[in-house]
Chain A
Amino acid sequence: MACVKPNGELTTAALEVLTRIASPATDQEVAEAVKRPVHQARAILRELIKAGMAEHDGGLYRATPAGRERLRT
């Protein structure tokens, strides 16, 4: 998974995205916040969902409890 390093840590980009979705945001809003193209933001969001750290509902992405926990560590 590209947003998780081999040692289990999140990449800088994934951390930035996860931080942004601590409060719900669209993919466009995430891309603007992390200053990356929308396609990259979408790919990272998809991987965070696969990792159980994000969820998607009604066009909005938000961090799950597991994602919030990761931000605290």
Chain B
Amino acid sequence: MDQTDSCGAMPRMPRIGEPAPPFEAETTQGDLRLEDYAGSWLVLFSHPADFTPVCTTEFLAFSKLYPDFKENGCELLGLSTDSLYSHIAWVRNIESVFGVAITFPIVADAGREVARAYGMIMPEESATEAVRTVFVIDDRQIVRAVLSYPMTTGRNVDEILRLVQALRATDRHGVATPAGWLPGDKVIVAPPRTQEMAEERMKAGDPDCRDWYFCLRTP
């Protein structure tokens, strides 16, 4: 897939709704391809560098919620431009210092092939390291959400889990989710497409309809 801009120079970030760029990469759990995740959701996330404090806190947070991601049919795959041996040493260090095992794989993208394909290198931030990007990729390998954070700011992994849960609820029930939605909360019903449907909705007197365009329901 061509991820270059109109000048053909800088790779661009895949957009929501596009197929995720395929890759084959060396990871801490052997060579993996994007297609290995077909049928499962995937959070592909990059971090700038191993053995750095913000990244370490993020890996601790991802590891803590990994069982929750898996419960939601979603796998985690980390990535940085560090070497495989750096990743292995860092994962071992995290386990010995913090007592936390990192059980999801991490891509060693020293050649930056995956980082470039996903637009993870932002030269204004760093010419060599990936910024903190998150790609939520669905079970059909379509990009469903994209987040980018600067190097200085650790991500909120609860929010990333919530995002996956919200997207899956949307797929299951054909609804949208309001701000701060959490599983179990009411969801938003699609607005009516005609005046007649709007009238009918208002006449129904549903207490969960605040107005013709704003109706909630239990999923």
Contact = CB atoms under 8 A, between A and B. Distances in A.
A47 interface: yes
Contacts, number: 33
Interface in A1-52: 1-3, 37-40, 42-44, 46-47
B31 interface: yes
A3 B29 CA distance: 9
B4 to A, nearest CB: 28
A48 to B, nearest CB: 11
A43 B88 CA distance: 19
Interface in B65-107: 70, 75
Nearest to A40: B29
Interface in B29-83: 29-33, 35-37, 39-40, 70, 75
B78 to A, nearest CB: 14
Nearest to A2: B30
B37 A39 contact: yes
A10 to B, nearest CB: 12
A40 B29 CA distance: 8
B37 A47 contact: no
B36 A42 contact: yes
Most chain B C-beta atoms within 10 Å of own C-beta, residue among A39, A40, A46:
A39
A39 B30 contact: no
Interface of A: 1-3, 37-40, 42-44, 46-47
15 contacts: A2-B30, A3-B30, A37-B70, A37-B75, A38-B36, A38-B39, A39-B37, A40-B36, A42-B36, A43-B32, A43-B33, A44-B30, A46-B33, A47-B30, A47-B31
Given A38-B36, A42-B36, A44-B30, 19 more contacts: A2-B29, A2-B31, A3-B30, A37-B40, A37-B70, A37-B75, A38-B40, A39-B40, A40-B29, A40-B30, A40-B36, A43-B29, A43-B31, A43-B32, A43-B33, A43-B36, A46-B31, A47-B30, A47-B31
Interface of B: 29-33, 35-37, 39-40, 70, 75
